[in-house]
């Protein structure tokens, strides 16, 4: 029997976006606990570019980027009872820049009917990171003051909404062009980081959720109240600085979110308590351009590859 193939974006060496090529590739088969998804949309994340560059060590080559997907269940592996062929799903997978991709059943949820495939395909990594950082690492509680850096970005849009859903007072930093967006997501206060130094407007914050790093991160220690926490998804925050300011330091990793986080996210999407923001949709054949745009680090919302 001939091997089944599919169209996929692959890279045969580490490097810049130019190493990405659209070509025929073997169609994967689901193993124990896995689901094979016919991909309709795949989210584009900065981590995809980092993997392509080889920033996380040597990967098996050729590689296919992509950790976010939405689509239709094509087949399920042994032990999978939560999903069946034909169901519409979304969540986290691997090799998602392709017509078919594998995902752990635990990393998927049924796609809400009020959310399109492109919208659902943009959610996984961003919402999972925001949830894990705010609640699992940071322990955010109702009534606390939360400062979100990069509030219009691919993770920040979810951090603002989830913080507000939890009952926190939310302050977000963004460019003036994204003020209205960040307010619409629920932020109580928005600070133009180009015009105003946030530390002149924020004090006694219970949590800083930092998606930016660099100088912004260094200036954030002073706005936290004693015992507060800086939760970082980027950069290398200093334990010494945390001790000096009598605050805590939290780092968000791949396992920060709980196993059922996509189920919880799906419920919020279905109830209209959480939404995604699409910045731009590219066809699969323009994955290079999508990653180049993602790498700029500017602009509002999520970038998506429309696959099927």
Residue 238 maps to which CATH number?
A: 3.40.50.720
If asked whether residues 154 and 245 sit together in one domain, one would say yes
If asked whether residues 167 and 213 sit together in one domain, one would say yes
Question: Could you list the residue range(s) of the whole structural domain that residue 168 is in?
Answer: 127-251
If asked whether residues 213 and 295 sit together in one domain, one would say no
pLDDT at 109: 98
The answer to whether residue 266 is domain-embedded is no
Peptide bond before residue 62 is cis, with ω within 30 degrees of 0: yes
The answer to whether residue 75 is domain-embedded is yes
The answer to whether residue 268 is domain-embedded is no
In whole angstroms, how far apart are CA 288 and each of 2, 18, 47? 30, 7, 14
Q: Tell me: the pLDDT tens digits for 165-189?
A: 999 999 999 999 999 999 999 999 9
pLDDT at 1: 42
The answer to whether residue 263 is domain-embedded is no
If asked whether residues 138 and 210 sit together in one domain, one would say yes
pLDDT at 253: 83
Show the low-confidence residues of the chain (pLDDT under 70): 1-2, 57-59
Radius of gyration of the chain (CA): 19
If asked whether residues 60 and 110 sit together in one domain, one would say yes
The answer to whether residue 71 is domain-embedded is yes
Length of the chain equals 308
The answer to whether residue 264 is domain-embedded is no
If asked whether residues 118 and 13 sit together in one domain, one would say yes
Helices (H) and strands (E) in the chain, counts: 9, 15
DSSP-assigned letter for residue 43: E
pLDDT at 107: 96
Alpha-carbon span 31 to 24, nearest angstrom: 22
If asked whether residues 91 and 203 sit together in one domain, one would say no
If asked whether residues 188 and 216 sit together in one domain, one would say yes
CA angle, residues 285, 42, 291, in degrees to nearest 5: 60
Both tokens assigned to 146: 């939360």
DSSP track, 136-200:
IIS---TT-EEEEETTTSTTHHHHHHHHHHHT-EEEEEE-GGGHHHHHHTT-SEEEETTTS-GGG
pLDDT at 213: 86
pLDDT at 255: 81
Spell out a b/e string for 209-223, using b for 16 or more CB atoms within 10 Å of the CB, else e: bbbbbeebbeebbeb
The answer to whether the beta carbons of residues 230 and 244 sit under 8 Å apart is no
pLDDT at 29: 96
Q: Tokens 């959720």 appear where?
A: 209
If asked whether residues 60 and 176 sit together in one domain, one would say no
Relative orientation angle of helices 156-166 and 124-131, to the nearest 10 degrees? 50
The answer to whether residue 18 is domain-embedded is yes
Residue that terminates a domain, selected from 251, 268, 286: 251
Number of domains in the chain: 2
The answer to whether the beta carbons of residues 150 and 175 sit under 8 Å apart is no
The answer to whether residue 96 is domain-embedded is yes
If asked whether residues 79 and 13 sit together in one domain, one would say yes
If asked whether residues 162 and 196 sit together in one domain, one would say yes
If asked whether residues 17 and 111 sit together in one domain, one would say yes
The CATH number for 88's domain is: 3.90.180.10
Both tokens assigned to 127: 């919402």
């Amino acid at each position: 029997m001939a091997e089944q193939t599919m169209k996929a974006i692959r890279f045969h060496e580490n490097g810049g976006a130019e190493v990405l090529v659209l070509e025929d590739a073997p169609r994967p088969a689901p193993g124990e606990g896995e689901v094979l998804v016919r991909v309709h949309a795949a989210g584009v994340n900065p981590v995809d570019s980092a993997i392509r560059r080889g920033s996380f060590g040597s990967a098996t080559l050729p590689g296919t980027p992509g950790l976010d997907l939405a689509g239709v269940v094509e087949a399920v592996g042994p032990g999978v009872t939560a999903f069946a062929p034909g169901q519409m799903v979304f969540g986290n997978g691997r090799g998602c820049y392709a017509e078919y991709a594998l995902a752990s059943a635990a990393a998927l949820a049924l796609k809400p009917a009020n959310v399109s495939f492109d919208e659902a395909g943009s959610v996984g990594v961003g919402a999972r990171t925001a949830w894990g950082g705010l609640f699992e690492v940071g322990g955010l509680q109702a009534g606390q003051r939360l400062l979100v850096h990069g509030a219009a970005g691919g993770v920040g849009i979810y951090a603002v909404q989830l913080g507000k859903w939890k009952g926190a007072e939310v302050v977000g930093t963004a460019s003036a062009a994204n003020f209205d967006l960040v307010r619409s997501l629920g932020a109580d206060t928005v600070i133009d980081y180009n015009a105003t130094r946030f530390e002149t407007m924020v004090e006694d914050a219970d949590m800083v959720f930092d998606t930016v790093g660099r100088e912004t991160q260094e200036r954030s220690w002073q706005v936290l109240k004693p015992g507060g926490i800086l939760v970082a998804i980027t950069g290398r925050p200093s334990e010494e600085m945390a001790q000096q300011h009598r605050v805590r330091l939290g780092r968000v990793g791949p396992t920060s979110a709980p196993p059922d986080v996509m189920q919880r996210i799906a419920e919020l999407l279905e109830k209209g308590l959480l939404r995604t923001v699409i910045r731009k949709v590219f066809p699969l054949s323009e994955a290079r351009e999508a990653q180049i745009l993602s790498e700029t680090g500017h602009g509002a919302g999520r970038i998506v590859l429309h696959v099927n």
